[in-house]
Amino acid sequence: MINCPLPIKDYKEILIAHGGGGKLMNDLIGKLFFPLFSNEYLEKKHDGAVFESGGIKFAFTTDSYIISPLFFPGSDIGELAVYGTVNDLAMCGAKPLFLSAGFIIEEGFSMENLWKVSCSIQNACKKCNVEIITADTKVVEKGKGDGLFINTSGIGIINHKLGISPRSVRQGDKIILSGDIGRHGIAVISSREDLGFETEIVSDCAPLNFIVEKLLDAGIEIHCMRDLTRGGLASALVEIAETSEKELLLYENFISVRDDVRSACEILGFDPMYVANEGRFVVIAKESDAEKIVKIISGFEDGKNASVIGEVVGDKKNRLVVMKNIYGASRIVDMFSGEQLPRIC
Amino acid sequence: MINCPLPIKDYKEILIAHGGGGKLMNDLIGKLFFPLFSNEYLEKKHDGAVFESGGIKFAFTTDSYIISPLFFPGSDIGELAVYGTVNDLAMCGAKPLFLSAGFIIEEGFSMENLWKVSCSIQNACKKCNVEIITADTKVVEKGKGDGLFINTSGIGIINHKLGISPRSVRQGDKIILSGDIGRHGIAVISSREDLGFETEIVSDCAPLNFIVEKLLDAGIEIHCMRDLTRGGLASALVEIAETSEKELLLYENFISVRDDVRSACEILGFDPMYVANEGRFVVIAKESDAEKIVKIISGFEDGKNASVIGEVVGDKKNRLVVMKNIYGASRIVDMFSGEQLPRIC
């Protein structure tokens, strides 16, 4: 056995933040998992892996869903487990075909809630036009789990020749955001604690595969896509900047945040840039495609607030995300070092 | 939402036995999951799903590993998570290509143990010639998990025209078992409690893909295969009998159980027929192939005790497994109704 690589020795134990989508998680993946499992697929650091077999390109992805609570305004773990994985396939430019489902259930979990979640999975599958074709059920003793965890893995087929990946990002490209941000995170936290918001903020949880399909059908030359889950818009863009070795410039006033979400964030001390979403994504493509992309995404209910929010400005291995506000002041957008909101997906 | 189907109303809550691989689990799957998710793939009730895309046949399978303890004589959760899924692909007659890995880690889990398990995964992948190409890491709070759960899903390619499935089982077929049974279960329980056995019984945990590959390369017309995990040899065969609508007859004296395993089973009140294995499988094929199958399997270290243990006798929708002992007495082998040994895989 190889010795434990030194950097991880700073942490003798796993912290909540190691699963937070921020710096510590990147550290864990980069320093512990990567040296062991590294291969051409993982190195792409994409939402899913793209492989070829018999001349056909497929995407393959996996996610475990550990969200708490299981039911929250606007959605539940069942929908999330389908849409989350479908969206990861879509972000690879793949048309989702099949899902697997692995249930880890805690002894004593209510049969009725298992039924509700399963119905929700069924509906979500129909909505995305995917099928669960293989599954597994495990039960752990009371106190050794937390109600229900679900893993879904997905296979999709890629019917185009684009190389959609952070490494395809080019200087001059535009960054398009598909809608307002921060709703999922706020919906989940408001269901954990009675925060007494005047309006109920519901999760943005939604499938993105049909929007992506339409972009591809329209012949858009997509360079990169990323859905904004754990770590929010900020973490997704920092990851892209680092992998693509580019500098991204964002215009804060074009990033849509609903007033109620912004107020909730202020009360909670959250920055909406880091709050999780489950139905939002960014597209990076060349400037001449930007307007068409916004138009196509805006045509969907889940994309009606789409807009260009920034551009790829530097090609100097800056690996930075910089955000300008309306007064012209700039700040560097970094990855969150800790964990703003655990168990959000 | 559809109402909760009546049969499950007998159980308001999930019991440990709902994950045990026996009757209750079959009930849960058959009555709750199946009516919602049913499709041509799931209906095959195989270890994995076989689908076709672009004229190529693939197998797809998933398993969550929740074994306790994580390290046990002869193996650990890392190896198990690779071999278990590789074996499910092999049982579909597929050559394993790619795996996904989803880690659910409990806050406070030792970084060193995560490293050990990850090294074990790496070694196991090399041994089976598969790669992990997509992964996910989640962390749950202390007390909401149990150290580490791992989900792996797998994709394999099918390079032959056989329809390997319980439905291909024919009257007159022989049943071949690849080695002695019961070691994995006994190894795990002996590491949970200090049972003071004189010899250490180690798990039979092993990859089966190369054995299966050799059977296929030899042109064996395999009708069905099944690896013997949760629920042991008995549950695997009862499932095959039920799905194939056949009667299977077993000869007890041909089923190999090591003396130390048998003694341990007697002390613990276990029936080795129901004890879990992680490197054993049954092949069902026509009589004329049986001898060749035994010879090929016996050529492998993990198959040296292979033998014909029974045959398919009835074609009358009997859906039964019957076992004869050396005195000629017969007994019906049923599915375990409860849970003999939880968290065995």
Instruction: For residue A330, count other CB atoms closer than 10 A to its CB.
Output: 12
pLDDT for res A184: 97
pLDDT for res A1: 54
- Please check whether residue A338 lies inside any domain of the structure: no
Choose the closest CB to A19 out of B61, B110, B137.
B137
Query: Which residue type is seen at B314?
Result: G
Contact residues, chain A, for B87 at CB < 8 Å: none
Contact residues, chain A, for B20 at CB < 8 Å: 139
* Distance between first and last Cα of chain A: 33
Residues B176 and B137 in one domain: no
Q: In the listed set A158, A193, A212, which residue is the last one of a domain according to the structure?
A: A158
CA proximity to A260, closest of A185, A197, A179, A191:
A197
pTM: 0.96
Residue A298 · residue A170 · CB < 8 Å: no
Reading the block at residue A73, the tokens are 């305004």
Testing the interface with A: which of B133, B146, B165, B344 to mutate, by most A Cβ within 10 A?
B133
Lowest mean pLDDT among A125-139, A214-228, B197-211, B296-310: B197-211
Question: Phi-psi region for residue B303, left (φ > 0), alpha (ψ -120 to 50) or beta?
Answer: alpha
pLDDT at B4 over 80: no
Residues A288 and A182 in one domain: yes
Residue A197: CB partners within 8 Å, gap ≥ 6?
Answer: A190, A260, A263, A264
Residue A307 · residue A245 · CB < 8 Å: no
Residues B54 and B116 in one domain: yes
Express as a percent the part of chain B with pLDDT over 90. 83
Q: Each residue of B21-44: b (16+ CB within 10 Å) or e?
A: bbbbbbbbbebbbbebbeeebbeb
Measure the CA–CA gap between B164 and A117, rounded to whole angstroms: 32
Q: A75: number of CA atoms within 13 Å, CB side?
A: 30
SS3 A187: helix
Measure the CA–CA gap between A100 and B35, rounded to whole angstroms: 16
Residues A181 and A278 in one domain: yes
Residue in A with minimal Cα distance to B100: A62
pLDDT of B180-204, one tens digit each? 999 999 999 998 877 777 778 999 9
Tokens 């399963």 correspond to A118
Instruction: Place A6 in a pLDDT band, splitting at 50, 70 and 90.
Output: low
B19–A58 CB contact, under 8 Å: no
Q: Is the dihedral of CA A267, A272, A273, A278 positive or negative?
A: positive
- Please check whether residue B341 lies inside any domain of the structure: no
Choose the closest CB to A134 out of B60, B134, B140.
B60
Instruction: Place A20 in a pLDDT band, splitting at 50, 70 and 90.
Output: confident
- The residue segments making up the domain with residue A251 are 166-333
Contact residues, chain B, for A138 at CB < 8 Å: 19, 64, 66
**Gap from A288 CA to chain B (nearest CA, Å):** 33
pLDDT for res B7: 62
Residues B315 and B273 in one domain: yes
pLDDT at A339 over 80: no
pLDDT for res A263: 94
- Please check whether residue B69 lies inside any domain of the structure: yes
- ipTM (interface predicted TM): 0.96
pLDDT of A84-119, one tens digit each? 999 999 999 999 999 999 999 999 999 999 999 999
pLDDT at A311 over 90: yes
Residues B270 and B178 in one domain: yes
A102–B153 CB contact, under 8 Å: yes
CA proximity to B110, closest of A8, A104, A42:
A8
**Gap from B256 CA to chain A (nearest CA, Å):** 28
pLDDT for res B20: 87
Reading the block at residue A271, the tokens are 């920055």
Instruction: Place A59 in a pLDDT band, splitting at 50, 70 and 90.
Output: very high
pLDDT at B9 over 80: no
pLDDT of B50-102, one tens digit each? 999 988 999 999 999 999 999 999 999 999 999 999 999 999 999 999 999 99
CATH number of the domain enclosing B143: 3.30.1330.10
- Please check whether residue A342 lies inside any domain of the structure: no
Q: In the listed set A120, A139, A158, which residue is the last one of a domain according to the structure?
A: A158
Residues B6 and B80 in one domain: no
Residues B25 and B113 in one domain: no
A115–B32 CB contact, under 8 Å: yes
Residues B81 and B198 in one domain: no
Calculate Rg over the CA atoms of chain B: 20
Residues A27 and A60 in one domain: no
Question: Phi-psi region for residue A231, left (φ > 0), alpha (ψ -120 to 50) or beta?
Answer: left
Mean pLDDT of B14-21: 91
pLDDT for res B22: 83
B105–A19 CB contact, under 8 Å: yes
Contact residues, chain A, for B112 at CB < 8 Å: 4, 12
Testing the interface with B: which of A34, A45, A111, A128 to mutate, by most B Cβ within 10 A?
A111
Number of domains, chain A: 3
Give CA separation, A9 vs A20, A26, B334, in Å: 19, 15, 51
Q: In the listed set B158, B182, B199, which residue is the last one of a domain according to the structure?
A: B158
pLDDT at A318 over 90: no
- Please check whether residue A340 lies inside any domain of the structure: no
Measure the CA–CA gap between A275 and B72, rounded to whole angstroms: 41
pLDDT at B236 over 60: yes
Instruction: Place B280 in a pLDDT band, splitting at 50, 70 and 90.
Output: very high
> CA A43, A48, A53: angle at the middle one, nearest 5?
90
pLDDT at A177 over 90: yes
Give the start-end residues of each E strand in chain A: 49-53, 56-65, 71-72, 75-76, 95-106, 131-140, 148-158, 174-177, 222-227, 247-251, 281-285, 307-314, 320-324, 330-332
Instruction: Place B118 in a pLDDT band, splitting at 50, 70 and 90.
Output: very high
pLDDT of A263-309, one tens digit each? 999 999 999 999 999 999 999 999 999 999 999 999 999 999 999 99
Instruction: Place B49 in a pLDDT band, splitting at 50, 70 and 90.
Output: very high
pLDDT at B1 over 60: no
Helix axes B287-298, B209-217, angle to 10 degrees: 130
Residues A112 and A2 in one domain: no
Instruction: For residue A269, count other CB atoms closer than 10 A to its CB.
Output: 7
Instruction: Place A17 in a pLDDT band, splitting at 50, 70 and 90.
Output: very high
Tokens 């910089």 correspond to A322
pLDDT at A49 over 60: yes
pLDDT at B154 over 70: yes
Residue B251: CB partners within 8 Å, gap ≥ 6?
Answer: B309, B310, B323, B324
SS3 B306: coil
Look at strands A95-106 and A131-140 and give their pairing: parallel
> Do you find a cis peptide bond into A207, omega within 30 degrees of 0?
no
Residues B269 and B183 in one domain: yes
- Please check whether residue A131 lies inside any domain of the structure: yes
**Gap from A326 CA to chain B (nearest CA, Å):** 37
Testing the interface with B: which of A140, A159, A227, A339 to mutate, by most B Cβ within 10 A?
A140
Residue in B with minimal Cα distance to A60: B134
**Gap from A225 CA to chain B (nearest CA, Å):** 17
pLDDT for res B211: 98
Look at strands B307-314 and A49-53 and give their pairing: unpaired
- Please check whether residue B345 lies inside any domain of the structure: no
pLDDT for res A281: 98
Give CA separation, B216 vs B213, B223, B260, in Å: 5, 11, 34
CATH number of the domain enclosing A213: 3.90.650.10
Instruction: Place B6 in a pLDDT band, splitting at 50, 70 and 90.
Output: low
Q: A130: number of CA atoms within 13 Å, CB side?
A: 35
CA proximity to B230, closest of B181, B182, B275, B279:
B275
Express as a percent the part of chain B with pLDDT over 70. 97
Measure the CA–CA gap between A11 and A334, rounded to whole angstroms: 22
Residue A268 · residue A188 · CB < 8 Å: no
Instruction: Place B260 in a pLDDT band, splitting at 50, 70 and 90.
Output: very high
Instruction: Place A4 in a pLDDT band, splitting at 50, 70 and 90.
Output: low
- Please check whether residue B340 lies inside any domain of the structure: no
